[in-house]
Homo-oligomer: A and B are copies of this chain.
Amino acid sequence: MSNSSNDENFKDKKVNIVMFSGEYDKALAGLIMANSARELGAQVTMFFTFWGLLLLRDPDKLSLEDKTTYEKMFSMMTPNGIEDLPLSKMNFAGIGKKMLKEMMKDDEAPSLTKFLNGARKKGVKFYGCKLAVDVMGFKKEEFIPELEIVDAKEYLKDALNSDMQLFI
């Protein structure tokens, strides 16, 4: 229940966020929440699966080695890095996305990359879904080094022991 005291302590709270969507706007929402939760003192785990894994690939480390034809095609068709993700709507072949980025700059809002790096610096735990990594043919070396590859059960254990869970 709500406890409206002002000096409330959130150090004992735990947040678990699934990042399923590989879209710029949804990634912003998830990463802003993760940063803010850490600033309140809460522990945060983000579990990246399916398209969400596209947020964590390092554009300088993408590789086509040891991949099947489908995996190679998939790797070439997907965005190279976090700033290349499309919007979930009004993307208009990238025009809407460019517009949003200009509007963010006008308001001096940090870029998505800055929120990702903030989350890394603030100690957010990064989990990646083993099944999705395997099916999509991604290699561990393509991701940011913090990413720990776990199965769905590890995710669930973390989520079931958290105070809030979101699927984004």
- Choice from B22, B35, B40, B167 contacting A166 with Cβ under 8 Å: B167
Q: Is the CB of A49 within 8 A of B20?
A: no
Give A164 to B13 CA distance when docked, in angstroms: 14
Contact B89 A109 (CB under 8 A): no
**7-41 of chain A: CB within 8 A of chain B:** 8, 10, 12-16, 18, 20-22, 25-26, 28-29, 32-33, 35-37, 39-40
| Tally of chain A residues near chain B (CB < 8 A) | 70
Residue contact A160 to B163, C-beta cutoff 8 Å: yes
In the complex, which of the residues B1, B21, B106, B164 contacts A165, with contact meaning CB atoms closer than 8 Å? B164
A102 on the interface (CB 8 Å rule)? Answer: yes
Q: Is the CB of B166 within 8 A of A68?
A: no
Chain B residues whose CB sits within 8 angstroms of the CB of A136 once the complex forms: 103
**Which of A15, A18, A22, A167 has the most B CB atoms < 10 Å from its CB?**
A167
